Amino acid sequence: QLQLQESGPGLERPSETLSLTCTVSGASISSKNFYWGWIRQPPGKGLEWIGSIYYSGTTYYNPSLQSRVTISVDTSKNQFSLRLTSVTVADTAVYYCVRRMAVTGTKLYYFDYWGQGTLVTVSS
Amino acid sequence: AIQMTQSPSSLSASVGDRVTITCRASQGIRNDLGWYQQKPGKAPKVLIYAASSLLSGVPSRFSGSGSGTDFTLTISSLQPEDSATYYCQQDSNYPHTFGGGTKVEIK
């Protein structure tokens, strides 16, 4: 059974860099037809897609965050990571790592597996 | 970015009621739309992909329809365990975007 597990600090100071890692178990991160990514949810609010990465290293970012975000993959550890620089209180959220899966034989995708989420609070 | 507008933002219905949630995209997205259910304190869970395809294991009382800009999620007979927030999400263009959510409560 595929599992995704986020890890990283739960508290960041304003202007610091948020770093989270997602460890994938039960499947290879190098599998084709899958993208790996991050979605966040501020407390009591909706979902915001942050970005995705393919095992080859190709990345896609939300333009609203693009200047501050980096997603990377470590196939040897079956992990991928999120780095968000210059955080502010507005970056306080539950951060989910996700797998985006292609429907066989199509170019249709959906987020089929989610981590449990990790709350990151930005506060001085 | 494509804007996804859901309505209503919340609703209250009785067990057995038919519930419909709508989602409108700011531009055509073909059928590149998913519906997700989120219960408090939990990660969202996909119910429907490609606008109308039900994920294996999802109760058949859930159904989706639509194409282009207008989509609906229908719960044919509301059950107590369906109390949750539902989100639509477009996968047609980057950035992927979600609707604002519809909170479904049981009367």
- Closest-CA residue in chain B for A66? B95
Taking 90 as the threshold, does the pLDDT of residue B55 lie above it? yes
Task: Inspect the interface and report whether the beta carbons of A96 and B43 lie closer than 8 Å.
Answer: yes
pLDDT at residue A38, as a whole number: 98
Task: Inspect the interface and report whether the beta carbons of A49 and B49 lie closer than 8 Å.
Answer: no
Which residue from A48, A45, A3 is spatially nearest to A23, judged by alpha carbons? A3
pLDDT at residue A104, as a whole number: 87
Q: State the 10-residue block means of pLDDT for chain A, 124 residues long.
A: 96 98 95 94 98 93 97 95 98 98 90 98 97
pLDDT at residue A106, as a whole number: 87
Task: Inspect the interface and report whether the beta carbons of A49 and B100 lie closer than 8 Å.
Answer: no
pLDDT digits (tens, 9 = 90+) for B24-44: 999 999 999 999 999 999 999
What is the average per-residue pLDDT within B89-105? 97
Q: What is the DSSP string of chain A?
A: --EEEEES-SEE-TTS-EEEEEEEESS-TT-TTEEEEEEEE-TTS--EEEEEE-TTS-EEE-TTTTTTEEEEEETTTTEEEEEE-S--GGG-EEEEEEEEEEPTTSS-EEEEEE---EEEEE--
Helix (H) / strand (E) element for B88: namely strand B84-90
Minimum distance, in Å, between the CA of residue B100 and any CA atom of chain A = 6
